[in-house]
């Protein structure tokens, strides 16, 4: 007989394999577009959105829905919506005016392939479409409105965009852990956190389950960023599908720069342990979310 730990891992591996494929298919269907979408714009959107990616945010939506006893299929539109917002943010982040990166998801970044103007428009289109998908495909309408409101807040001036603004301003700044955490709670954490919250809402989470999912999302959000900083320092460009070593080059404020590599690793592991502990007390079927949190610290891409 399988031990519970192996069974949980098996469940997670099968869930990810099956749902990554369904997410990829759903994203491809939703970006086929009619003749009013210019071919070049369609190509640019699909070049970035359908490139090989981990699909972490969609998986968080689907696993959170399942953890609350909901059918992940009902949450698939929300999984697509968060991936659309995430991909828009990557396209815009890669622009010369921002992080200026020519490689993303193992492909030339959107502007490197299609030019800056088309890349800006591809990001704009994805951001708008995310809300169209939620508004038209999530039911009932009150739930759709709540999901739109939450995603807008996570993507807006006080979260994703605000965090990005402060991150851009923080180059060569004096190392300060509180300031660094404040940037990444908004720039990276908010999108991971809203992913579990949307899944929870669609899965019918109780208020205490939603509170547990929120705290889980906040913990893994920070852990994810710490690991991202470590991978920028130590990862391989081939595995990552993006340039590495850029943080140091650009004088970015990062966790390894502020705390050191070993302390950063320890902090990421502590955050994942805290995320697991939160789930234990929240009355959720949380095996998948626990495995995903562990994957976040173990990942090499
Ligand atoms: C332009 C509004 C705006 C925001 C940009 C996404 C972002 C904010 C910056 C990207 C740079 C960066 C290293 C962000 C932190 C972590 C992050 C979002 C990494 C990329 O996400 P993954 O690893 O990538 O989930 P895939 O390609 O697998 O989806």
pLDDT, averaged across the chain? 95
pLDDT band for 3, please (50, 70, 90 cuts): confident
Mean pLDDT of 135-164: 98
Q: What is the pLDDT of residues 233-291, one digit of tens each?
A: 988 888 888 888 888 888 888 999 999 999 999 999 999 999 999 998 898 989 999 99
For residue 86, give the ligand 1 atom closest to its CA: 6
185 Cα–ligand 1 center, Å: 13
Name the token pair of 96. 């010369």
Q: What are phi and psi of 108, to 5 degrees?
A: -55, 140
DSSP 12-28: HHHHHHHHHHHHHHHHH
pLDDT of residue 195 exceeding 70 = yes
Residue 89 Cα to ligand 1 middle (Å): 7
Q: Are 78 and 199 in contact (CB under 8 A)?
A: yes
Task: Identify the pLDDT of residue 80.
Answer: 99
Instruction: State which ligand 1 atom lies nearest to the alpha carbon of 53.
Output: 28
Q: Are the C-beta atoms of residues 44 and 110 closer than 8 Å to each other?
A: yes
Name the least confident of 144-153, 195-204, 242-251: 242-251
Q: Using the predicted structure, report yes or no on whether residue 1 has a pLDDT greater than 70.
A: no
Percent above pLDDT 90 for the chain: 84
Kindly report the three-state secondary structure assignment for every residue of 233-272.
HHCCHHHHCCCCCHHHHCCCCCHHHHHCHHHHHHHHHHHH
From atom 18 of ligand 1, which residue's Cα is the shortest distance away? 188
CA angle 292, 294, 295 (to 5 degrees): 60
Tokens linked to 130: 């995310």
Packed helices 116-137 and 72-93: angle between N→C axes, nearest 10 degrees:
160
pLDDT in tens, 181-194: 999 999 999 999 99
Q: Which atom of ligand 1 is nearest to the CA of 105?
A: 27
* pLDDT computed for residue 229 by the predictor: 94
- Measured from the Cβ of residue 208, the count of other Cβ atoms closer than 10 Å reads 12
For 21-78, how does the pLDDT look when each residue is reduced to its tens digit (9 = 90+)? 999 999 999 999 999 999 999 999 999 999 999 999 999 999 999 999 999 999 999 9
- Ligand 1: list residues with CB < 6 Å: 53-54, 56, 86, 89-90, 92-93, 98, 105, 160-161, 164, 187-188, 225, 228
Which pLDDT belongs to residue 143?
98
Strands (E), the chain: 103-104, 107-108
Residue 33 confidence (pLDDT): 98
């Amino acid at each position: 007989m399988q031990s519970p730990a192996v069974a949980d891992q098996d469940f997670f591996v099968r869930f990810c394999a099956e749902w990554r494929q369904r997410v990829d298919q759903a994203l491809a269907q939703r970006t086929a577009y009619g003749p009013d979408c210019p071919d070049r714009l369609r190509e640019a959107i699909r070049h970035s959105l359908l490139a090989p990616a981990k699909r972490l945010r969609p998986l968080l939506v689907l696993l959170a829905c399942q953890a609350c006893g909901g059918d992940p299929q009902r949450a698939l539109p929300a999984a697509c919506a968060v991936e659309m917002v995430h991909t828009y943010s990557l396209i815009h982040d890669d622009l010369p005016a921002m992080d200026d990166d020519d490689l993303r998801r193992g492909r030339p970044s959107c502007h490197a392939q299609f030019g800056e103007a088309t890349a800006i428009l591809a990001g704009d289109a994805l951001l708008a479409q995310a809300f169209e998908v939620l508004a038209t495909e999530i039911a009932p309408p009150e739930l759709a409105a709540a999901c739109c409101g939450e995603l807008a807040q996570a993507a807006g001036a006080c979260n994703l965009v605000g965090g990005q603004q402060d991150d851009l301003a923080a180059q060569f700044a004096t190392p300060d852990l509180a300031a660094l955490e404040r940037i990444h709670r908004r720039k990276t954490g908010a999108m991971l956190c809203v992913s579990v919250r949307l899944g929870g809402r669609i899965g019918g989470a109780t208020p205490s389950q939603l509170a547990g999912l929120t705290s889980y999302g906040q913990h893994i959000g920070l852990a994810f960023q710490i690991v991202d900083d470590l991978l920028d320092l130590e990862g391989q460009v081939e595995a990552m599908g993006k340039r590495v070593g850029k943080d140091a080059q650009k004088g970015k404020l990062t966790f390894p720069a502020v705390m050191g590599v070993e302390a950063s690793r320890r902090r990421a592991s502590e955050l994942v342990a805290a995320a697991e502990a939160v789930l234990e007390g929240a009355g959720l079927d949380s095996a998948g979310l626990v495995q995903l949190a562990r994957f976040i610290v173990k990942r090499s891409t």
